[in-house]
């Protein structure tokens, strides 16, 4: 038995995977809709996104901002977030039944919420704040306007990100609370993919086939599929649509049958934030990255995929045993939340003479095991990778090369490929070249991205080693960041009369370690300046009480390694 065969039998001959835990019957009456207009989705709950599952519903606002957003019921504001990234302006309301609604990407808040935000921002002299309120400190009534729809944070267009969370902070599919929407469109099924799961699991390529729609069911274009592997697993390329919108949405439920027996079900009712990254285990993530977010949902549970509240009726991990040589009648049912159903039917049979699973070349010098802690050490480098964060056994290349230029302060350490994905964080340490003590605070670990770019991973000193946590494999090295951030004025200059302007606009950025903080002043008095993370643009409305005459505007910007830039302009008003 070779090493690869041993890995397969060790991983799949024993052990059980976590099954879906109990989903309660959530209250289906009592909550009103967060918007006045009918529910149209720009994004569905649980749909695959880059590196995470979507934890809410994206409600369309007809490409408009400023629509009123309402409290679902009587309750209190429990949290307010303001950030140039992520949810942008976000409001959390908690209700007596224990549930909390979240509205994200808001344009702004109602007056009483805005007053709380402004007090905190001016007290801390910061735009970005995260405010936790005591129960019933700031009450709201059902149907009260609490905010306005917008496009703040990491939003690709005007909409409202809407979540409902339970007392354990777990996002729940909001449709479970009785919300209705018009949807009579069946999910689409685009392709079927088969994976060898026996002796050829690590040495053969997966295989896919296109589908045709005939007599109400999708069937493989290839007809009867004969495979040269006794154990196989499946994934299906599927997505959903609904009338009234052109957006592509995620699916709700996938059930896989071998004959009359269900062997696997995936359903998205609830997602814990501890498991949002498990999207890389649920979908064929290399395909997702390389083919424009195309989702091939796995109809089986892979190694270390222990995500709860999602998998049901799992038999043999969803792996199909074809060793009997018979033709297996495979059925995959795909449903959206409204019950619209699409079905895929396929015939699969084992045939030792088949050539479906073709050999693939494995080039590696390290094997990472999903059942133990993996340690890689070399001259000036170490990495500790817990097995539990691996999707499966990984065959990687570890290599060391000299610096590619004078800016690099260490060797380049290649640890696998940047497209390889892990479920969680691991530690790496690099010993740089001799760096003067005065410059050590400027040192940081750089990761080379799959697209050829770079990203800062920060780093802290531990003796002679610079250490950090990361979730990506790939190439790492050390650089120094001694370059101050960029400040570019948009509509202000020394000597300019700003009386007709409503606001001062600036653009800021940083090339390496990333922005950390900024502060704006007029005549040495701190001013609130909003940052739009998408455009890296700062906006500061001019104070209403600004007196005529000359004034001094000053902006300081710092990056993550303490480099600072300053811009000053004397303007007229």
Tell me what the pLDDT averaged over the chain comes to: 94
Taking residues 210-231, what's their average pLDDT?
96
Reply yes or no on whether the pLDDT at 17 is more than 70: no
CA atoms in the 13 A half-sphere facing the CB of 447: 23
According to DSSP, residue 521 is labeled E
Reply yes or no on whether the pLDDT at 2 is more than 60: no
Taking residues 398-409, what's their average pLDDT?
96
Per-residue model confidence (pLDDT) at position 465? 97
What is the share, in percent, of the chain residues with pLDDT greater than 70? 96
Q: What are phi and psi of 73, to 5 degrees?
A: -165, -175
Reply yes or no on whether the pLDDT at 16 is more than 80: no
Per-residue model confidence (pLDDT) at position 22? 78
- Name the nearest CA neighbour of 533 among 510, 504, 552: 510
Taking residues 464-482, what's their average pLDDT?
97
Taking residues 241-262, what's their average pLDDT?
96
- Name the nearest CA neighbour of 394 among 194, 201, 208: 201
Reply yes or no on whether the pLDDT at 204 is more than 50: yes
Taking residues 332-355, what's their average pLDDT?
97
- pTM listed for this prediction: 0.93
* Contact between residue 103 and residue 160 where contact means Cβ atoms under 8 Å apart: yes
DSSP string, 65-88: S--EEE-SSSEEEEEEEE-SSTTS
Reply yes or no on whether the pLDDT at 562 is more than 60: yes
Per-residue model confidence (pLDDT) at position 9? 39
* Contact between residue 197 and residue 231 where contact means Cβ atoms under 8 Å apart: yes
How many CB atoms sit inside 10 A of residue 447's CB? Answer: 19
* Contact between residue 322 and residue 230 where contact means Cβ atoms under 8 Å apart: yes
CA distance between the termini of the chain: 83
Reply yes or no on whether the pLDDT at 4 is more than 90: no
H-helix or E-strand containing 132?
strand 129-132
* Contact between residue 381 and residue 413 where contact means Cβ atoms under 8 Å apart: yes
Q: What is d(CA 525, CA 542) in angstroms, rounded to the nearest whole number?
A: 12
Question: 266-305 pLDDT, tens per residue?
Answer: 999 999 999 999 999 999 999 999 999 999 999 999 999 9
Reply yes or no on whether the pLDDT at 171 is more than 80: yes
Reply yes or no on whether the pLDDT at 18 is more than 80: no
Per-residue model confidence (pLDDT) at position 5? 42
Question: 115-134 pLDDT, tens per residue?
Answer: 999 999 999 999 999 999 99
**pLDDT confidence band for 20 (50 / 70 / 90):** low
Contact residues for 88 (Cβ-Cβ < 8 A; gap 6+): 82, 104, 105, 106, 150, 151, 152, 153, 154, 155
Question: 31-56 pLDDT, tens per residue?
Answer: 999 999 999 999 999 999 999 999 99
* 20-29, 199-208, 305-314, 456-465: the lowest-pLDDT one: 20-29
- Name the nearest CA neighbour of 300 among 268, 265, 350, 259: 265
Phi-psi region of 286 (alpha: psi -120 to 50; beta: other; left: phi over 0): alpha
**pLDDT confidence band for 7 (50 / 70 / 90):** very low
Per-residue model confidence (pLDDT) at position 450? 78
H-helix or E-strand containing 131?
strand 129-132
**pLDDT confidence band for 68 (50 / 70 / 90):** very high
Per-residue model confidence (pLDDT) at position 451? 79
**pLDDT confidence band for 350 (50 / 70 / 90):** very high
Question: 525-536 pLDDT, tens per residue?
Answer: 999 999 999 999
Reply yes or no on whether the pLDDT at 368 is more than 50: yes
In this structure, the dihedral spanned by the alpha carbons of residues 43, 47, 49 and 51, taken in order and rounded to 10 degrees, is 150
Reply yes or no on whether the pLDDT at 12 is more than 60: no
Per-residue model confidence (pLDDT) at position 419? 86
What is the share, in percent, of the chain residues with pLDDT greater than 90? 92
Taking residues 87-116, what's their average pLDDT?
98
Taking residues 342-347, what's their average pLDDT?
98
561 CB burial (10 A radius; 0-12, 13-18, 19+):
buried
Taking residues 185-208, what's their average pLDDT?
97
Taking residues 84-97, what's their average pLDDT?
97
Q: What is d(CA 162, CA 87) in angstroms, rounded to the nearest whole number?
A: 10
H-helix or E-strand containing 120?
helix 111-124
Q: Name all domains of the chain by residue range, CATH numbers in brackets.
A: 41-177 (2.70.70.10), 188-350 (no CATH), 366-480 (2.60.220.30), 486-572 (2.60.40.1220)
3-state secondary structure of 185: coil
Reply yes or no on whether the pLDDT at 97 is more than 90: yes
> Which residues sit opposite 236 in a β-bridge?
192, 297
Q: What is d(CA 244, CA 425) in angstroms, rounded to the nearest whole number?
A: 41
Per-residue model confidence (pLDDT) at position 1? 37
3-state secondary structure of 505: strand
Q: What are phi and psi of 460, to 5 degrees?
A: -125, 150
């Amino acid at each position: 038995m070779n090493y690869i065969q041993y890995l397969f039998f060790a991983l799949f001959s024993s052990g059980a995977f976590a099954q879906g835990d109990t989903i309660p019957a959530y209250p289906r009456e009592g909550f009103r809709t967060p918007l006045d207009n009918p529910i149209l989705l720009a994004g569905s709950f649980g749909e695959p996104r880059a590196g995470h599952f979507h934890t809410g519903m994206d409600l369309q606002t007809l490409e408009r901002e400023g629509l009123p957003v309402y409290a679902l019921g009587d309750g209190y504001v429990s949290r307010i977030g303001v950030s140039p990234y992520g949810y942008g302006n976000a409001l959390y309301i908690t209700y007596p039944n224990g549930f909390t609604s979240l509205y994200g990407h808001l344009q702004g808040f109602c007056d009483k919420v805005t007053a709380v935000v402004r007090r905190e921002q001016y007290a801390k002299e910061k735009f970005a704040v995260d405010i936790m309120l005591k129960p019933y400190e700031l009450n709201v009534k059902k149907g009260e306007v609490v905010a306005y729809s917008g496009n703040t944070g990491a939003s690709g267009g005007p909409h409202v990100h809407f979540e409902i969370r339970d007392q354990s902070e777990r996002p729940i599919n909001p449709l479970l609370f009785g919300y209705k929407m018009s949807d009579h469109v069946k999910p689409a099924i685009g392709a079927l993919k088969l994976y060898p799961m026996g002796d050829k699991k690590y040495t053969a390529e997966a295989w896919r086939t296109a589908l045709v729609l005939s007599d109400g069911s999708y069937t493989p274009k290839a007809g009867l599929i004969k495979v040269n592997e006794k154990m196989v697993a499946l994934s299906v390329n599927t997505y959903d649509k609904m009338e009234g919108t052109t957006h592509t949405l995620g699916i709700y439920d996938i059930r896989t049958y071998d004959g009359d027996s269900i062997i696997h079900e995936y359903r998205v009712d609830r997602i814990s934030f501890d498991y949002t990254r498990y999207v890389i285990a649920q979908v064929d993530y290399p395909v997702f990255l390389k083919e424009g977010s195309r989702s091939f949902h796995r109809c089986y549970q892979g190694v270390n995929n222990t995500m709860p509240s999602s998998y049901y009726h799992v038999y043999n991990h969803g792996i199909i045993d074809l060793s009997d040589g018979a033709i297996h009648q495979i059925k995959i049912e795909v449903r959206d939340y409204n019950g619209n159903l699409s079905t895929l039917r396929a015939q699969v049979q084992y045939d030792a003479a088949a050539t479906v699973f073709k050999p693939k070349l494995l080039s590696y010098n390290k094997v990472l095991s999903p059942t133990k802690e993996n340690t890689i050490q070399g001259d000036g480098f170490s990495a500790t990778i817990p097995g539990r964060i691996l999707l499966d056994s990984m065959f990687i290349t570890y290599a060391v090369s000299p610096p590619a230029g004078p800016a690099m302060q260490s060797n380049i350490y290649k640890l696998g490929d940047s497209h390889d994905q892990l479920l969680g964080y691991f530690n790496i340490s690099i010993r740089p070249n001799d760096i003067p003590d005065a410059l050590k605070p400027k040192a940081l670990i750089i990761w080379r991205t799959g697209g050829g770019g770079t990203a800062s991973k920060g780093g802290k000193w531990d003796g002679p080693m610079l250490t950090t946590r990361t979730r990506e494999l790939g190439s790492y090295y050390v650089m120094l960041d001694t370059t101050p951030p960029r400040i570019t004025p948009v509509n202000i200059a020394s000597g300019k009369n700003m009386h007709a302007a409503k606001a001062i606009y600036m653009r800021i950025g940083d090339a390496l370690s990333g922005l950390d903080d900024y502060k704006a002043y007029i005549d040495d008095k701190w001013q609130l300046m909003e940052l739009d993370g998408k455009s890296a643009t700062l906006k500061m409305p001019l104070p209403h009480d600004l007196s005529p005459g000359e004034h001094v505007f000053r902006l300081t910007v710092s990056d993550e390694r303490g480099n600072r830039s300053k811009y000053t302009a004397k303007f007229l008003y």
